[in-house]
């Protein structure tokens, strides 16, 4: 596997969609796509207003479309009122109440079906239970749940009563949870006793107890605990209540709380260039619109389709393409509790076969690890149900693309390589399955109404055949509204003065080929992408130096990795003498465990190097470019004459 990925074959073939596919597609052929792009160009606001009227159910119709008066704090459909949960559930009650909304497969293989009516009733009961516990419109609720029907119910119930949820991925530490509770000003937590993943039981509630004991969380009045594992856990009355008690006796109807289109549906924390994660705030109307149209355009969703997005609801992909998009368009979706390699690396393929999945959406990291664990395994399963494959979260290397296309998709399923971000709310740049001839490894073309471009440092388009900075030149409905509690940081991060505050800066570098196909080259800021998870180098550095007993100074960089895309490499100056041999190994392990406790296991450095100092210029600036070269094992070709302490480089090159 390693050699195949290293050889990264440059795939130059284009893969046009089969004619039969084009014929049935929701956006059928290039002419249809171009007509939509032209419509958006001719009448940008009219285009989005038409879609918002056609797709969303409005309690009070909007009369204003885009408000740019306080740019870059854009508002969409502001005077309209709606409810996201009503749009995802109530709308199906008359037309398809008995259709399966969720096929839930547990870690141990047990399958549960939930119809749209049942899901509606679960959400209403839980929403009523939350209201009874004093949670109201505008409150922030932190959700720390395993992949489960209940996680979706929790999100939908918050939406139903106008509470703003903030889901924290179950792999994050107690400290991360505490920081997010404080930053969001949350008043309640919804969690579970624990979760099952890969045959192992992992506790969740203890992390909440630990977080709440850290201080600053006094506003938390209520902790609702879903019983998943049944392992005994401490419950603190009256703060803590079991989910089953919260819903007991509650009516199965709950009038939705109507909110303005700009009402914050959720806050989701993600990493940026500084040490502190950003609370990305999303709206209700614009966000849900984008979730719906991309289900239709990109996944070409049809009434009979079975859709499966393998993300966790702790990430934005699990928000848009599990908790909201599939429900709003009334699809049947698979929700999976476990991991792709348990009980063996055929799990995904068996699930596709068992549930007759038509549209399968996963991340390159999962694809690469499954090639490694059993590249021939898909052949043992009947994958003929598949119609479309999707990729998200990081660049997909052409080798992995080809395997996905041929071995999983039987060379008949278009792959939609969807570029987007926590901040964009939904897909932005992606081939459309019934339109574009696929170019492996490239996300190719912006969606109609998304005005993406690649510019140089002065903001001028670079044109075809060149590389530069990826920007979005016009606002779009599902865009980030602000960073929760930090509007200045929002402006600085995304609408910098470099471009007169006019363009949304995605933070990615990209190229355009001669035909205009866009390919993402990776982040241009201090953000790493490890297994499709976003991590800030500064965040990991702060975690390391917070170990004041051991660490004097630390610098973190990324290094390409065959399996995880990028890997975290940390350079550490210790308080005591520089460790070596076994002592260095033990200290590296201790620091890894420390980072896991501070942030979460996903942030653990793969490689830790110790030095008496870090390579610095005479003015004291750490030369990160040198560190990146050392991390990659490259020969150092940069000028090191300005370096204060060149001898340090040899120390840092030593692998443990």
3 state SS of 400: helix
Helix (H, G, I), strand (E, B), or coil: what is residue 522? Answer: strand
Cβ nearer to ligand PRX, comparing 243 with 419: 419
- Site size with ligand PRX, rule: CB under 6 A: 22
> What are residue 333's DSSP bridge partners?
102, 307
Q: Confirm whether residue 393 is marked as ligand binding.
A: yes
Q: Is 477 annotated as a binding residue?
A: no
461 is in an annotated binding site: no
Span interacting with ligand PRX, options 18-26, 64-72, 453-461, 517-525, rule CB under 6 A: 517-525
Ligand-binding annotation for 651, yes or no, is: no
214-to-106, 177, 182, 380 alpha-carbon distances in Å: 33, 10, 11, 50
How far from the centroid of its chain's Cα atoms is residue 561's Cα?
20
For residue 78, what are its two tokens?
């502001």
Instruction: Name the 3-class secondary structure at 266.
Output: strand
Distant-in-sequence, close-in-space partners of 488: CB < 8 Å, separation ≥ 6? none
Q: Distance between CA atoms of 187 and 189, rounded to whole angstroms?
A: 7
Q: Is 531 annotated as a binding residue?
A: yes
Q: How far is the CB of 316 from ligand PRX (least distance, A)?
A: 5
Residue 230: asked if its preceding bond is cis (omega within 30°), the reply is no
Tell me: is residue 420 an annotated ligand-binding position: yes
Give whole-number Cα distances, 27 to 21, 33, 299, in Å.
Answer: 10, 6, 10
At residue 551, the 3 state secondary structure works out as strand
Q: Which of 38, 48, 46, 40 is nearest to 479 (CA)?
A: 48
Q: Does 566 bind ligand PRX (CB under 6 A)?
A: no
Q: Output the furthest CA–CA distance in the chain (Å, rounded).
A: 75
Query: What 3-state class would DSSP assign to 308?
Result: strand
CA 562 to chain centre: 21
Q: Is 199 annotated as a binding residue?
A: yes
- Strands 278-282 and 266-270 turn out to be antiparallel
Q: Are strands 66-67 and 75-76 parallel, antiparallel or unpaired?
A: antiparallel
Task: Decide if residue 507 touches ligand PRX (CB under 6 A).
Answer: yes
Determine if 529 is a binding residue for ligand PRX (CB under 6 A).
yes
> Exactly one of 159, 177, 392, 587 binds ligand PRX (CB under 6 A); which one?
392
Closest CA to 389 of 290, 307, 313: 307
Strand runs (DSSP E) across 108-205, as ranges?
111-115, 140-144, 164-167, 188-192, 194-197, 200-203
Mode of pairing for the β-strands spanning 452-455 and 194-197: unpaired
Q: Pick the closer one to ligand PRX by CB: 400 or 591.
A: 400
Give 284 or 519: the residue with its C-beta nearer to ligand PRX.
519
**Which of positions 253-312 make contact with ligand PRX (CB under 6 A)?**
270
**Residue 305 or 508: which CB sits closer to ligand PRX?**
508
Structure tokens at 186: 């949350």
Interface with ligand PRX (CB under 6 A), residue from 170, 395, 611, 615? 395
534 among the known binding-site residues?
Answer: yes
- Mark residues 410-429: x for contact with ligand PRX by CB under 6 A, - for none: -------xxxxxx-------
Q: How far apart are the first and last CA of the chain?
A: 24
Is there a contact between 296 and 51 (Cβ–Cβ < 8 Å)?
A: no
Choose between 494 and 610: whose C-beta lies nearer to ligand PRX: 494
The verdict on 523 binding ligand PRX (CB under 6 A) reads yes
317 is known to lie in a ligand binding site: yes
Q: Which stretch binds ligand PRX (CB under 6 A): 331-339, 519-527, 586-594, 624-632?
A: 519-527
- Smallest distance from the beta carbon of 198 to ligand PRX, in angstroms? 23
Q: Is 531 in the site for ligand PRX (CB under 6 A)?
A: no
Give the separation between CA 525 and CA 421, rounded to whole angstroms.
14
CA distance 451 to 464: 16
How many Å separate Cα 107 from the centre of its chain?
Answer: 22
Q: Which is nearer to ligand PRX, 83 or 537 (CB)?
A: 537
Q: Which of residues 430-469 bind ligand PRX (CB under 6 A)?
A: 443
Question: Which CB sits closer to ligand PRX, 47 or 266?
Answer: 266
Closer residue to ligand PRX (CB): 419 or 484: 419
Toward ligand PRX, which CB reaches closer, 121 or 399? 399
Provide the β-strand partners of residue 504.
Answer: 472
Q: Is 321 in the site for ligand PRX (CB under 6 A)?
A: no
Q: Is 625 annotated for ligand binding?
A: no
The CB-nearest residue to ligand PRX is 422
Least Cβ distance, residue 417 to ligand PRX (angstroms): 5
Q: How far is the CB of 363 from ligand PRX (least distance, A)?
A: 8
- Residue 393 as a binder of ligand PRX (CB under 6 A): the answer is yes
Q: Binding of ligand PRX at residue 394 (CB under 6 A)?
A: yes
Residue 11 counted as an annotated binding residue = no
365 binds ligand PRX (CB under 6 A): no
Candidates 85, 317, 478, 482: give the one binding ligand PRX (CB under 6 A).
317
Binding-site residue numbers are: 197-200, 317, 393-395, 417-422, 508, 523, 531, 534, 545, 551
Binding site for ligand PRX (CB under 6 A): 270, 316-317, 392-395, 417-422, 443, 506-508, 520, 522-523, 529, 534
Binding-site residue numbers for CoA are: 197-200, 317, 531
Binding-site residue numbers for ATP are: 393-395, 417-422, 508, 523, 534
């Amino acid at each position: 596997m390693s050699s195949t990925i290293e050889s990264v074959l440059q795939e130059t073939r284009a893969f046009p969609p089969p004619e039969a596919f084009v014929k049935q597609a929701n956006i059928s052929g290039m002419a249809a796509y171009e007509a939509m792009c032209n419509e958006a160009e001719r009448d940008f606001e009219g285009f989005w207003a038409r879609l918002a009227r056609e797709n969303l159910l409005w309690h009070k119709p909007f009369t204003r479309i885009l408000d740019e008066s306080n740019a870059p704090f854009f508002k969409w459909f502001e005077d309209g009122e709606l409810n996201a949960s009503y749009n995802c559930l109530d709308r199906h009650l008359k037309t398809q109440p008995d259709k399966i909304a969720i096929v839930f497969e547990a870690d141990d293989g047990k399958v549960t079906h939930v119809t749209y009516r049942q899901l509606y009733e679960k959400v209403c009961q839980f929403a009523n239970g939350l209201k009874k516990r004093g949670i109201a419109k505008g409150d922030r609720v932190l959700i720390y749940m395993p992949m489960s029907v209940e996680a979706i119910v929790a999100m939908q119930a918050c939406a139903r009563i106008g509470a703003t949820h903030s889901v924290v991925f179950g792999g994050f530490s107690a400290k991360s949870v505490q920081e997010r509770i404080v930053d969001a000003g949350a008043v309640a937590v919804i969690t579970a006793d624990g979760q099952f993943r890969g045959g192992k039981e992992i506790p969740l509630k203890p992390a909440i107890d630990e977080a709440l004991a850290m201080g600053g969380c006094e506003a938390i009045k209520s902790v609702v605990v879903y019983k998943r594992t049944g392992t005994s856990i401490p419950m603190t009355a009256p703060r803590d209540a079991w989910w089953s008690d919260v819903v007991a006796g509650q009516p199965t109807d709950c009038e939705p709380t109507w909110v303005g289109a700009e009402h914050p549906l959720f806050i989701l924390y993600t990493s940026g260039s500084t040490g502190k994660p950003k609370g990305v705030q999303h709206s209700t109307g614009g966000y849900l619109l984008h979730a719906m149209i991309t289900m239709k355009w990109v996944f070409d969703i049809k009434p009979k389709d079975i859709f499966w997005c393998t993300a966790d609801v702790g990430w934005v992909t699990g928000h848009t393409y599990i908790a909201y998009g599939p429900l709003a368009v009334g699809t049947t979706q698979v929700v999976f509790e476990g991991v792709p390699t348990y009980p063996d690396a055929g799990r995904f393929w068996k699930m596709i076969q068992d549930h007759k999945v038509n549209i399968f959406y996963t991340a390159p990291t999962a694809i690469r690890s499954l090639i490694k664990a059993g590249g021939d395994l898909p052949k043992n399963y009947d994958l003929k149900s598949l119609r479309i494959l999707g990729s998200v979260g990081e660049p997909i290397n052409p080798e992995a693309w080809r395997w996905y296309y041929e071995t999983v998709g039987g060379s008949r399923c278009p792959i939609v390589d969807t570029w987007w971000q926590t901040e964009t709310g939904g897909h932005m740049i992606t081939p459309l399955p019934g339109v574009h001839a696929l170019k492996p490894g490239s996300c190719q073309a912006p969606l109609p109404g998304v005005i993406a471009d690649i510019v140089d440092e002065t903001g001028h388009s670079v044109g075809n055949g060149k590389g530069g900075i990826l920007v979005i030149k016009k606002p779009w409905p599902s865009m980030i509204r602000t960073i929760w509690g930090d509007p200045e940081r929002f402006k600085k991060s995304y609408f910098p003065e470099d471009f007169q505050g006019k363009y949304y800066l995605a933070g990615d570098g990209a190229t355009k080929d001669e035909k205009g196909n866009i390919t993402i080259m990776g982040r241009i800021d201090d953000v790493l992408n490890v297994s499709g998870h976003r991590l800030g180098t500064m965040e990991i550095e702060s975690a390391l130096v917070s170990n004041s007993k051991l660490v004097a100074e630390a610098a973190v960089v990324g290094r390409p990795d065959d399996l995880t895309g990028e890997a975290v490499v940390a350079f550490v100056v210790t308080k005591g003498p520089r460790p070596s041999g076994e002592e260095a190994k033990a200290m590296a392990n201790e620091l890894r465990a420390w980072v896991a406790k501070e942030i979460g296991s996903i942030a653990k450095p793969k490689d830790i190097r110790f030095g008496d100092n870090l390579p610095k210029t005479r003015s004291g600036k750490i030369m990160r470019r040198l560190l990146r070269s050392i991390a990659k094992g490259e020969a150092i070709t940069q000028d090191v004459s300005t370096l204060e302490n060149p001898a340090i480089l040899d120390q840092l090159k030593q692998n443990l």
